[in-house]
Amino acid sequence: MSIQDLIDDFAFLDDWEERYRYVIELGRDLEPLSAAEHSSENKVQGCVSQVWLVSEVRPGPDGAPRLHFRGDSDAHIVRGLIAILMRLYSGRTPAEILAAEPRAVFARLGLDEHLTPQRSNGLYSMVARIEADAKAHLAPAGP
């Protein structure tokens, strides 16, 4: 499912109670993390809920390295937000990740106006972590 599919799905839902339920459903489909991956190294700082993100580099169809993300949280709604972030970022090159405009996507989904300030801060902490992972995996510049 692409981000555009997600935006279309959100537009179809009548109210925010339905949208929250949908976000929670999205979180149920996350690939589980192992007990070892629920580590302090993978924990995202700045989230009220506990959040863990794992990034892996895999070659894309063109041979360029792409980052794949997996995540988990102890809060159902946050698991859904992680699922949205996976659709936005996972499978992209580091440059594509850094060029993404998450605030615009979150605005189109209505997340910016319907999340509590604590959830918004946590969401942007996850974005910052994903962007930091992308920066760490940028190919070094040639001579």
10-43 pLDDT, tens digit each: 889 888 899 999 999 999 999 999 999 999 999 9
Phi, psi torsion values for 111, nearest 5 degrees: -65, -35
Give per-residue pLDDT as tens, 103-134. Answer: 999 998 988 888 889 999 999 999 999 999 99
Q: Can you list the alpha helix ranges (DSSP code H) found in the chain?
A: 3-12, 16-28, 76-89, 94-99, 102-109, 111-114, 117-136
Q: Count Cβ atoms within 10 A of the Cβ of residue 53 and give its class: 0-12 exposed, 13-18 middle, 19 or more buried.
A: buried
Residues labelled catalytic: 47
Using CA atoms, how far residue 5 sits from 1, 24, 98, in Å, is 6, 17, 22
Going from N- to C-terminal start, the domains of the chain cover 3-136
Q: Which CATH number fits domain 3-136: 3.40.50.2300, 3.40.30.10, 1.10.10.60, 3.90.1010.10?
A: 3.90.1010.10
Model's pTM, two decimal places? 0.92
